[in-house]
Structure 1
Amino acid sequence: MAQVRNGQWWGGLALAVLVAFAAGYAAVWVGESVLGFAKSPISDIMMAIIIGMVIANTVTLPEGVRDGLRFCASTILRLGIMLLGIRLSLLGAGRFTLVALPFVVVAIGVGLITVRFLGQRLGLSRQLSGLIAVGTSICGATAIVATAPLIRAREAEVSYAIACITVFGLVAMFCYPYVGHWLFADQPAMAGLFLGTSIHETAQVAGAGMMYEAQYQSPVALDIATVTKLVRNLCMIAVIPLVGFLYASEGKAASDKRVSLWSMVPWFIIGFAAMSALRTVGDLGDRPFGFLAPEVWDGTVSWLRSAAEHFLLIAMAAVGLTSMFAGLREIGPRPFLLGMLAAALIGAVSLLMIATLAPTMFRLLGV
Structure 2
Amino acid sequence: MFPAGVLPVGWRLRAHGILLALALALAASFAAHYLGALRSGDSPLFLSPVFCAIILGMAWRNCVGVSAGVNEGVQWITQTLLRVGIALVGLRLTLHGLTTLGLLAIPVVVGCILTALGASYLLGRWLNIASPLRSLIAVGTAVCGCTAVVAVSPAVRAKPEETGLALTCVVLFGSLGMLVYPWLAHTLFSAEGQAAGIFLGTSIHDTSQVIGASLIYSQQFGAPETVATAGFTKLLRNLSLLVLVPVLCTLYRERTERADKPKKHFANWRTALPSFLIWFMLLAVARTVGDAVFVDSSLADAWRGAVSVGLSASELFLVCGMAAVGLSVSLKHVQQLGWRAPLAALLVALSVAVVSLGLTAGVGALS
TM-score by length of 1: 0.90
1:358 and 1:4 map into 2 onto residues whose CA distance is 52
Q: How many Å apart are 1:303 and its aligned residue?
A: 0.5
Q: Distance in 1 between matches of 2:169 and 2:259?
A: 23
Residue equivalent to 1:186: 191
Moved more, 263-272 or 36-45: 36-45
Aligned-pair Cα RMSD in Å: 2.5
Once residues 220 and 30 of structure 1 are traced to their aligned partners in structure 2, the CA distance between those partners, rounded to angstroms, is: 24
Instruction: Provide, for residues 64-110 of structure 1, a one-character-per-residue CA deviation record: whole Å limited to 9, x for no partner.
Output: 42121112112212111111111111111232223212211121112
Aligned-partner residue type, residue 261 of structure 1: N
Distance 1:322 1:36, change over 3 A: farther
Matched, 1:299 2:305: yes
User: Match of 1:270?
Assistant: 278
CA drift at 1:21: 1.0
The answer to whether the 8 Å contact 1:151/1:252 transfers is: no
Mapped to 2, the partners of 1:76 and 1:132 lie a distance apart of: 27
Of 342, 345, 359, the residue aligned with 2:348 is 342
- Tell me the alpha carbon deviations over residues 88-147 of structure 1, each in whole angstroms, 9 at most, x when there is no partner: 111112322232122111211121122112101110100111111110001111110111
Q: Which moved more, 1:174-183 or 1:241-250?
A: 241-250
* 1:63, distance to aligned residue in structure 2 (A): 2.7
User: Could you state the TM-score of these two structures normalised by the residue count of structure 2?
Assistant: 0.90
Q: Could you list the per-position Cα deviations for residues 181-224 of structure 1 after superposition, in whole angstroms to 9, with x for gaps in the alignment? A: 11110322111111001001111111110111111101122221
- State the secondary structure of the residue aligned to 2:157: coil
Q: CA deviation at 1:248?
A: 6.8
**Structure-2 residue corresponding to 1:280:** 288
Identity of aligned residues (%): 37
Count, aligned residues: 358
Q: Do the aligned residues in 2 keep the contact of 1:134 with 1:243 (CA within 8 Å)?
A: no
Maintained 8 Å contact 2:104/2:363: no
Alignment correspondent of 1:359: 365
Is 1:150–1:254's contact at 8 Å kept on the other side of the alignment?
Answer: no
Q: Deviations over 1:283-329 (max 9, x none)?
A: 124567x7x62111111111011111111111101100111121212
1:318 to 324, 335, 355: 324
Equivalent in 249, 257, 266 of residue 259 of structure 1: 266
Residue 123 of structure 1 corresponds to 128
CA contact 1:9–1:65 (8 Å) conserved in 2: yes
Q: How does 1:234-253 map to 2 (within 5 A)?
A: 234-246=239-251, 250-251=255-256
Q: Is the 8 A contact 1:152 1:248 kept in 2?
A: no
1:228-281 Cα distance to aligned partner (Å, 9 max, x none):
011111211112222334567945859642434222221112211111111111
**Please, which moves more after superposition, 247-256 or 276-285?**
247-256
* Residue 173 of structure 2 is aligned to residue 165 of structure 1: no
Contact 1:150–1:255 (Cα < 8 Å) also in 2 = no
Q: Distance in 1 between matches of 2:59 and 2:294?
A: 51
- The reply to whether residue 8 of structure 1 matches residue 7 of structure 2 is no
CA distance in 2, matches of 1:180, 1:99: 17
Q: Is the 8 A contact 1:136 1:165 kept in 2?
A: yes
Preserved CA contact (<8 Å) 1:181 1:191? yes
Task: Please say if 1:111 is aligned against 2:119.
Answer: no
Contact 1:126 1:247 in 2 (8 A): no
Structure 1 window deviating more from structure 2 (324-333 vs 201-210): it is 324-333
Partner of 1:283, secondary structure, is helix
CA displacement, residues 28-87 of structure 1 (integer Å, 9 cap, x when unaligned): 345656999867421100110111111111234233421211121122121111111111
> Which amino acid letter does the alignment assign opposite residue 275 of structure 2?
W
2-structure distance, mates of 1:180, 1:266: 27
